[in-house]
Amino acid sequence: MEWTDEAIVLGTKRHGETSVLLEVMTRNHGRIMGLVKGGRSKRQQPVLQSGNSLEVTWRARLENHLGQITTELLTSRAARLMALPLGTYGMQFIAELTRLLPERDPHPYIFQALSVIVDAFEEGDVAGEMMVRYELAMLAELGFGLDLEQCAATGQSHDLVYVSPKSGRAVCREAGKPYHDRLLPLPSFLGGASTSNRMTYDELAQGFTLTEYFLERYVYGPLGRQAPELRLSFIEAVRKDLSLEE
């Protein structure tokens, strides 16, 4: 069988003397691994770098086989990503996040989100916000989506400042006040009450604390794993980038 699709490179592994195993997230076929013959050549290596967009053609005799991949470069962004800590850590971490999805399971929304965020690793506030949103999208795709649109207690859609750690639903200021020490903060950029016109590191830190809690509860904990160190490295790169702008 054979198919062609748009893809973003997540990583490669050496295979033999001249080939590599290429891992990509495709638009219509999900996360795919395949053998690229001659992938270690001087011509192919720059193409098969993390973050680049490719057109890939996958071929195999049977659907469950590893398959061979041939590629054509669509967008080259790896050099730019590797030039900044935000890009280096951001691309490595987002690849780790994407690997939470089962192989060959289509997730077109995640592909679309990935295709946007790989071009956003230049400014800390933008990159940080989009990574928080990507983590929320991953939770939703895995069946653990949060409801941040209206208050779990009153049904109102304004003045939302908390999230229930039990239900994953937003809570408004008035309803949550008696239990504020047991609730998670909902940062303004995720729909809570706006506190400033400029994204701050404290707001982003609240977002990462929120997603970390639910990722550990529903994903990493049941798998007996911890969040990758790359996550901390990326968050630190965001903090340093924002501190340079102050």
231-244 per-residue burial string, b: 16 or more CB within 10 A, e: under 16:
bebbbebbeebbee
User: What is the model's pLDDT at position 192?
Assistant: 52
- How many helices (H) and strands (E) the chain has is answered by 7, 8
pLDDT at 228: 93
Q: Give the HSE-up count for residue 132: Cα atoms under 13 Å, Cβ half-sphere.
A: 25
Where residue 197 falls among pLDDT bands split at 50, 70, 90?
Answer: low
Burial category of 158 from C-beta neighbours within 10 Å (exposed 0-12, middle 13-18, buried 19 and up): exposed
> Is 61 or 145 the better-scoring residue by pLDDT?
145
pLDDT surpassing 90 at residue 191: no
- The pLDDT value given to residue 62: 84
Q: How far apart are CA 142 and CA 24, in angstroms?
A: 19
Domains of the chain: 2-76 (2.40.50.140), 81-148+186-245 (no CATH)
Is the dihedral angle over the CA atoms 160, 163, 169, 173 positive or is it negative? negative
CB 10 within 8 A of CB 2: no
For the record, the structure tokens of 41 come out as: 């050549």
Exposure string for 42-77, b = 16+ CB within 10 A, e = fewer: eebeebbbbbbbbebbbebeeeeeebbbebeeeeeb
Answer whether 0.85 is exceeded by the pTM.
yes
Q: What is the Cα gyration radius of the chain?
A: 20
- 25-35 pLDDT, tens digit per residue, is 999 999 999 99
pLDDT of residue 5: 98
E strands, 2-148, in order:
2-15, 19-26, 30-36, 53-59, 68-75
**163-183 per-position pLDDT tens digit:** 999 999 999 999 999 999 999
Average pLDDT value for residue range 206-228:
96
Inform me whether the pLDDT recorded for 24 exceeds 90: yes
Question: Of 189-193, 202-206, 216-220, 221-225, which range is least confident?
Answer: 189-193
Is the pLDDT assigned to residue 193 strictly greater than 60?
no
Q: What does each C-alpha distance from 96 to 31, 226, 239 come to in angstroms?
A: 12, 12, 21
**Residue of 159, 143, 136 whose CA lies nearest to 213:** 136
Q: Is the pLDDT of residue 150 over 70?
A: yes
